[in-house]
Structure 1
Amino acid sequence: MTEAFGFSRRRRALLAAMAATGVASSAGTAGARAARALGGARRMAQLIGANGWPITPADVAMWHAMGISWGRDSVGPGQRNTPDDPVEVDKTGAAFDHDLPPVIVQNKRNGIGSLLLLGYTPKWNASVPGDTRSAPKDESVWTRYVEAVVRTYSAPPYNVRYFQIWNEAAGRLSGGAAQATFWHGKNFSAHADQAKPYDRAMQDYVERVHVPAARIVRKYGGYVVYGGWPDQGGLETYMQWLEYRSPAVGARMLDWVDYLDTHYLGVDALTPLFERYVANGPARGVWQTEIGDRYMSDPHYLPMYFFKFAVWALHHEWDDPNKYVSMVYHWDGFEPYRLTHRGNPRTYNVSGRSLVVLNQVAGAALAPFDGRLVFGPGASGLALHSGANLVIQVKASAGPRTVRVDGWPGAQSGNLGVTMVDALTGDAAAISARSDGAALSIDFRIPRTGNDGVGAMPAQLAYLVVSPKA
């Protein structure tokens, strides 16, 4: 955290003490055992990505502060204008106006993973005339572009392994649209009320785009990330697409997917995907390469999403650091809900500050909390272990509130301190707790104004950090 947040020395000292606490209690020892059982240290930052790239060293420092460890963006432009153009794959961004190679090298040097988005169709090769979001007329143009990207960036000094094929390819959406935003075919119209369903949407995508690209990715030792199933598409339809067996390629699309990927879903929606495709294979994990956007107008959205995501992952075989990732859309911009406000200097918005606070209070090695939280009226929450600390994320309305921690070995120790940290600002203060030898009872008071900024009954989002005293 930085002085720009206006943190007092006392608040910084409290957070520093929480972060530096050693594993010195029975609870900390149990947390360490649980982390080993998961196959190594798991950290909050492993779950957090963003759309776009950090360009400057100052950007990288902000990503590290927010705990962002993955980026995602385009690569191209390919053969933009004619079939005689060279296949260019050294640019990135919506307008292909940034040099990609130095970004990938910088990401690698700074411990940031790179997901390269493969897409779309040049206008001159589009099956819907002039429409870059339609299937290619000549499939070899598509595979030539994919081959150039994967061959280039899978090799040193880049060593990229993760490639996403297209974006939000789908047919008729459960929300009512006849065709998906990023996948157009026969009967498409820019006027949504005039568009009709694209009957071969699934077959064309699997046979002309996905499987040809996936074969190339795997040929170079890469991993295939599905192209972000849109939230309006419905999970049942997503499963139909994944399990569609194409007679033309002799396989299901699922056979050519390493990481399932959806957009803008809640954490609970990931469970059926895990149970059906990850728990016993064939997929390696579940990602969401876009979350947030206008949902971040609620300042509680991101910290609640990622805390719940971490708790969920800890109970869903998080045995690989790259198994579960969610990427914020978008990390910068001029809207007040983005992570940062674009400018010189770039500054944090509330959503970005909330990730900095989360990374401070839960940035150590994570382990599941297997006890029970019993909240008094007006409060609810979840918990996990971060290093030696027990971290409870609580959402509560104004007034005096309580939580009882049952079934946790650390409650037997009277040598504990509790700090309440505002989830958006990082303001921290010591609060009271008492142990009866079997459970820990924590009393805390929520201010009248809350920190969500909405509604007649404002709510506060905070962390209760229980630490063994030195």
Structure 2
Amino acid sequence: MVTREGLKQPQRRRALQTLTALAAAGVQVAHGASASAPAPQASRAGGRRITELIGANGWALAPSDLEMWHEMGITWGRDVVGPGQLSKQSDSVHVNKTGTHYDADLAPIVISNNRNGIGSLLLLAYTPTWNASLPGDSKSAPVDVDAWKRYVDAVVRKYSAPPYNVRHFQIWNEAAGRLSGGAVQASFWHGPGFNASDEKASQPYQHAMQDYVEKIHIPAARIIRRYHAYVVYGGWPDQGGLDTYRQWLEYRSPVFNQRMLDCVDYLDTHYLPVAALDPLYEQYVKNGPARGIWQTEIGDEYMKDPHYLPRYFFDFAVWALDRNWNDADKYVSMIYHWDGYESFRLTHRGPPERTYNVSGKSLIVLRQTAAGSLERFSTPLQFGPGAAGSALRSDNDIVLQVNAEPGWRTVSAAGVPAPSSRKAQAMLVDALTGFMSPREDVALDWNNQNLSVRFKVPNRVNGQAHGNDPARHLAYIVVRT
């Protein structure tokens, strides 16, 4: 199991019963009673699903874990492969373990993932200490690059073949140079001048980009592609800045006469808001050469805000639908971390048994509320004072995610044809708990082709205040036609 210390620096970053879907749209819910998100109509064949976007760091190791992943809609996992060559160059290359301490058998995990509809992203990292250019530092470049290549080849050769059939391999983790906030060397890529006892006293790693591209990335990428698999970039850290990321991507190695970008299939960043992905899409994905954009780490302490995760993934779906989401693997974000003891993780590990935290419950509500085949809702929304949000279509439902202050609020959309049956209904669903508001708290009106919804936000909202901004309520309005 990947812990916070496994992939992130320390300073940064079941027993709940499944929410039961309502038997039919418009079922009366008693005032004050708890209810789940509304049951969707039967899904149309094909189309994108909200679950295709959702991944997590670590693996679901037990049947009960898998059940929880399915409830939350998690369809991707990520963890390291190793331990590689343990003590010397002549050692056999061991690639049968995973987890921070290489204490879990990887092969049965990948097979289980395949059987349960979960994709496996295998992280190729790091340098064995005997081969480290900085003595004892596994986050430094290898002295013998051929040893790194043997490790990569062993991993990809085994896991890209049946019965594993893994298609996506990630090279390293957060390799960068100078970071914002005063760090002159990245947390997972150390070079000359790094001071392990006092990182603030480190000197800049002048050849960080060249060393990574020529000793790590391009050699590994060529091996991955030799086995007809895909290269996922090693998670550019948010503190690195996108301008610097572009410099690394565009760097042309004089050794290989090739840009690192030429050896990347999926761009990958960490902890960025959805809107920040636009420049990368426009420059590298819209017309190629990259196949898509992933974020293999999001969440972490951001999830202390209970609205963060449901807002992120709803925004991500709306964003993806506007950007040619033509492949299930094109856009993925992976939560760091699905498991732990902090109250903001998706689940609490226990004992006595694993339970959902608020963030995990919010994913269940999202998966149930937008469970169908997704499409763009192209009509602009007009919100009244004290409310904002966005919308998409899920099968025949219009699903709006609204962020609003207490009291009666409004939203309208012009140019939306009224359903021929004249039996459209609207439901207001708490985005964190799945509680459905009483029917009288939401009113739907269709005047010609003008859709308007009036809805009552409870006085006790589910959000947090931010500075001078008052706490707001996050909810879904489901318009069922």
Query: Which letter maps to 1:466?
Result: V
Answer whether contact 1:51 1:331 (CA < 8 A) is retained. yes
Match of 1:174 in 2: 180
Deviations 1:349-373, CA, capped at 9 Å, x for gaps: 0000000000000021100001121
Q: Does 1:467 align with 2:475?
A: no
1:20 positional shift: 3.7
Cα distance in 1 for partners of 2:356, 2:127 equals 36
Q: Please state if 1:439 is matched with 2:438.
A: no
Q: Cα gap change, 1:423/1:12 in structure 2, threshold over 3 Å: closer, same or farther? A: farther
User: Displacement of 1:11 after TM fit?
Assistant: 10
Aligned residues of 1:202 and 1:241 also touching (Cα < 8 A): yes
1:341 is matched with: 348
Match of 1:244 among 251, 258, 263: 251
Answer yes or no: is the 8 Å Cα contact 2:25–2:39 preserved in 1.
no
Mapped contact 1:179–1:188 kept (Cα < 8 A): yes
Runs of 4+ in structure 1 off by over 6 angstroms are 5-13
Alignment of 1:42-441 (within 5 A): 42-190=48-196, 191-343=198-350, 344-410=352-418, 414-429=422-437, 430=439, 431-441=442-452
In 2: Cα distance, 1:300 partner to 1:187 partner: 41
1:452 equivalent in alignment to 2:458: no
Equivalent of residue 4 in structure 1, options 9, 17, 22: 17
Q: Distance in 2 between matches of 1:384 and 1:2?
A: 31
Superposed displacement of residue 235, structure 1: 0.2
Q: CA, structure 1 residues 313+435, in 2 after alignment: closer, same or farther (shift >3 Å)?
A: same
Aligned to 2:3: none
Q: Deviations over 1:221-244 (max 9, x none)?
A: 100000000000000000000000
Counterpart-to-counterpart distance in 1, 2:152 and 2:21: 51
Percent sequence identity over matched residues?
A: 59
Residue aligned with 1:291, SS:
strand
SS of 2:66's equivalent in the other structure is helix
Q: Secondary structure of the residue that 2:288 maps to in structure 1? A: coil
326-335 or 405-414: bigger deviation: 405-414
* 1:233-274 CA-partner distances (Å, limit 9, x unpaired): 000000000000010011000000000000000001111001
Q: Deviations over 1:274-325 (max 9, x none)?
A: 1100111110000000000000000000000000000000000111110000
Change in CA separation of 1:297 and 1:52 when aligned onto 2, cut-off 3 Å: same
Distance 2:421 2:143 in 1: 69
Change (3 A) 1:413 1:11: closer
Deviation of the 1:18 alpha carbon: 4.1
CA distance in 1, matches of 2:40, 2:476: 17
Q: In the aligned structure 2, how far is the partner of 1:148 from the partner of 1:173?
A: 33
Distance 1:172 1:376 in 2: 45
Query: What code does the residue aligned with 1:448 have?
Result: N
Q: 1:19 aligns with which of 21, 39, 42?
A: 39
* 1:427 to partner: Cα distance: 0.3
CA shift, 1:81, in A, is: 2.2
- Cα shift at 1:175: 2.9
- Are the structure 2 counterparts of residues 151 and 12 from structure 1 closer, same or farther at C-alpha, using a change threshold of 3 Å? farther
Q: Deviations over 1:86-139 (max 9, x none)?
A: 211000001101110000000000010000000000111000110000000011
Deviates more, 1:356-365 or 1:171-180: 171-180
Instruction: Flag the structure with higher helix content.
Output: 1
Structure 1 runs not aligned, ≥5 long: 24-31
Alpha-carbon contact 1:175-1:233 (below 8 Å) kept: no
Q: Deviations for 1:147-189, whole angstroms, at most 9, x for unmatched residues? A: 1000000011000010000000001113321000000011111
8 A contact 1:393–1:461 mirrored in 2: yes
Residues 402 and 212 (structure 1 numbering): CA distance in 2 closer, same or farther, change over 3 Å?
same
CA contact (8 A) 2:57 2:336 kept: yes
- Cα distance between partner residues in 1 of 2:15 and 2:48: 25
Q: 1:389 to 1:193 in 2, by over 3 A?
A: same
Paired residues of 2:238 and 2:271 also in contact (CA < 8 A): yes
Report the AA paired with residue 396 of structure 2.
A
Between 1:362-371 and 1:424-433, the stretch displaced more is 424-433
CA deviations on 1:7-30 (whole Å, 9 max, x unpaired) are 79789985889434258xxxxxxx
Question: Is the contact made by 2:405 and 2:457 (CA closer than 8 Å) also made in structure 1?
Answer: yes
Cα pair distance change 1:210/1:377, threshold 3 Å: same
Cα distance in 2 between the residues matched to 1:109 and 1:50: 17
SS at match of 1:141: helix
Task: Report SS of the residue matched to 1:19.
Answer: coil
Distance 1:444 1:209 in 2: 55
Deviation at 1:437, TM superposition (A): 1.7
- Conserved in 1, the CA contact under 8 Å of 2:428 and 2:477? yes
| Distance in 2 separating the partners of 1:409 and 1:51 | 42
Q: What is the deviation of 1:453?
A: 4.1
CA distance in 2, matches of 1:11, 1:230: 45
CA 1:380–1:256 in 2, change beyond 3 Å: closer, same or farther? Answer: same
How far residue 3 of structure 1 moved from its aligned partner, in angstroms, is 6.3
Please state how far the C-alpha of 1:410 moved relative to its aligned partner: 3.7
Q: What's the TM-score once normalised by structure 2's chain length? A: 0.91
CA distance in 1 between partners of 2:25 and 2:139 (Å): 49
Unaligned runs of 5+ in 2: 1-13, 28-34
- 1:384-439 superposed Cα distances (whole Å, 9 cap, x missing partner): 00011000000001111111122222467632000000000000133221111221
What one-letter code is carried by the residue in structure 2 that aligns with 1:302? Answer: L
Give TM-score scaled by structure 1 length.
0.93
